[in-house]
A and B are shown apart, each in its own frame.
Chain A
Amino acid sequence: MKASTISLKILKGIGIFSFWIGVWYLASTLINKEIFLPFPHTVALRFLELSGTAGFWTTVAASLARILRGFIYGVVFGSGIALLTHYSSLAGGLISPFIRMVRAVPVASFTLLLFLWLDNDMIPVFIALLMVAPIMWENLSAGLGAMDKGLLEMAKVYRIPRGKTLKKIIFPSLSPYFCSGMLTGLGLAWKSGIAAEVISYPSVAIGKALGEAKTYLETADVFVWTVVVIALSLAFEGLIRLLFRKRRKKV
């Protein structure tokens, strides 16, 4: 990409960001009650204050670890189920309706049920898994269904080793579906994981901090933690995009 195109993109990004900050300022000025909508500078100052404490980083790390664990389990579990339901019609018949049902169950219902079965720290992990797995299953099933059977036949006729077939034919063909599933799943993992933390109150968690901020009407803190979640989600989304772009170039 040319340097001028990059500069233009950065300028455009700054422009959009400034526009929405402006809208936020305007709304805060109109409402003029920070308990309902704090000013952007109040949130920024509060962020600086909070990020200077060790507790802030411990909280971020704890939630990050929980949600990433749930996300990874969800990716592995959803992919495994997709392979199973694709290659076995019996498994497909049995499992597919169950996964569709899981997808429709609200996070709150699951969280409350899991209260009875799991430790509070584990509930967000499990919730993230439950949200990510069906997305991965759906995307990967679509990828497996759309795979060019002709190429697999060609590989068989030409006796291309299984490992090479996987690396050069199957993985690149599934990669866009896998990437799309991971991107959608990651967003959902953060949303549902934090929601689960708000309900389940693990020992240290962003969700717990959010819940407490709400209880004590510290609206600026609610904003700070929300911005942190958005930033983390976007950072990992960018990382996934980068990984898949690099992989595509390698293949």
Chain B
Amino acid sequence: MIELKNVSLVFDGRQVLTDLSLVLPEKGILLITGPSGCGKTSVARMILGLLSPTEGEVSVGDLKIAAVFQEDRLVPTLTALENVALVSDTKEAEKRLSQVGLGDALELLPEELSGGMKRRVAIARALAFSGDLLLLDEAFTGLDEELAEKILKELCEEFKDRLIIAVTHRPELFSGREYTEIKM
């Protein structure tokens, strides 16, 4: 179970979070929404263990988290397939890339992919990693509505018994689905 206890965060001399306490559900969809700069991404980074709170405690246990970051974070010297295979075996990587519609782009380098294709490689990587939960930080930026909906459907299907945390300023993407929303 993921829990944030009385978390405060000062970042670059600015108070980003004050005394935030949260207990995250074990499955389902959890949306973290709010205006830019309200600390959504900081919460995500704390859950991922990339940022420590100034005060309070974040406990994640030994959960394996698959993440799609705001940026694609693809290794420029590796092909799409090799990028995904960093977190899984090649067969699984190939399967996941086909799942996001990149079955023909396995051998392309990130510089040869469009912005939307890079996003999809990052999503395929998250799918290939058998995580206990999925964290999406503005994961659908750069994807058109139709494609975002298609990929989201597959992600929801894949993680139906696990937790999906989505940090987003486009909560409408999740309309028609059951979710819990935390407005920051």
Contacts and interface: CB of A to CB of B under 8 A. Distances in A.
A150 interface: yes
Contacts, number: 42
Interface stretch (A23-31, A90-98, A157-165): A157-165
A12 interface: no
**Dominant SS among interface residues on chain A:** helix
A164 B86 contact: yes
B4 interface: no
Query: Which among B64, B77, B78, B82 has the highest number of chain A CB atoms within 10 Å?
Result: B77
A169 B87 CA distance: 13
Contacts of B75: 151, 168-169, 172
A9 interface: no
B73 interface: yes
Interface residues of A, number: 18
B50 A156 contact: yes
Contacts of B82: 168
A60 to B, nearest CB: 38
A154 interface: yes
Nearest to B88: A158
Contacts of B159: none
B73 A150 contact: yes
Contacts of A173: 77
B48 interface: yes
Interface string B22-59: 00000000000000000000000000111000000000
A162 to B, nearest CB: 13
Contacts of B129: 158
Interface in B61-95: 64-67, 69, 71, 73, 75, 77-78, 82, 86-87
Interface of B: 48-50, 64-67, 69, 71, 73, 75, 77-78, 82, 86-87, 125, 129
Pairs of residues from A and B, 5 with the lowest C-beta to C-beta distance, nearest first: A172-B77, A154-B73, A158-B87, A150-B73, A157-B67
16 contacts: A150-B73, A151-B73, A151-B75, A153-B69, A154-B67, A155-B86, A156-B49, A157-B49, A157-B50, A157-B65, A158-B125, A159-B64, A160-B87, A164-B86, A169-B75, A251-B77
